[in-house]
A and B are shown apart, each in its own frame.
Chain A
Amino acid sequence: MTSPILAAALKGPAGRLDMLPYAALLDLSFERVGEELHLIMPFDETLIGSPGRLHGGAIAGLLELAGLLTVIAAQPEGEALPRVRPVTVTVDYMREGAATASRATASITRLGRRVVNVQAQVWQETEGRGGRDKPIAAAHINFVLDWPQMAEPLEPAP
Chain B
Amino acid sequence: MTSFADQVGQFMGPFIGRVPHNKRLGLRFITAGDRWVELQLPFAPQLLVDPDHGIWASGPIFTLMDTAVGMASMLARGAFEPHATLDLRTDYVRSPRAEATVTARGECYRMTRQIAFVRGLAHDGDPADPIAHVAGTFMFAASKLAPGWQG
Contacts and interface: CB of A to CB of B under 8 A. Distances in A.
Q: Is the interface on chain B under 10, 10 to 19, 20 to 34, or 35 or more residues? A: 35 or more
Contacts of B63: 55-58, 60-61
B24 A46 contact: yes
Contacts of B67: 49, 55, 57
B90 interface: yes
A87 B60 CA distance: 15
A14 to B, nearest CB: 20
16 contacts: A20-B49, A21-B45, A21-B49, A21-B51, A48-B19, A55-B22, A56-B88, A57-B64, A58-B21, A64-B62, A68-B49, A88-B89, A90-B88, A92-B86, A92-B87, A93-B85
A25 B24 contact: yes
A93 B47 contact: no
Given A56-B66, A61-B60, A64-B59, A22 B86 contact: no
Identify the 9 closest CB pairs spanning chains A and B, nearest first: A61-B59, A57-B63, A22-B57, A55-B21, A46-B24, A90-B89, A48-B20, A60-B62, A93-B85
- For B45, B47, B48, B57, the residue with the greatest tally of chain A CB atoms inside 10 Å of its CB is B57
Main secondary structure of the interface of A (DSSP, over half): mixed
A93 B87 contact: yes
A89 interface: yes
Interface of B: 19-25, 45-53, 55, 57-60, 62-64, 66-67, 70, 84-92, 95
A2 interface: yes
Contact of A48 (B21, B46, B85, B91): B21
A88 B136 CA distance: 13
Contact of B86 (A65, A68, A88, A93): A93
Contacts of A23: 49, 57
Interface residues of A, number: 38
Given A64-B62, A65-B59, A89-B62, A56 B85 contact: yes
Interface string A85-97: 1111111110010
B49 A45 contact: no
Interface in A35-71: 45-50, 54-58, 60-62, 64-65, 68
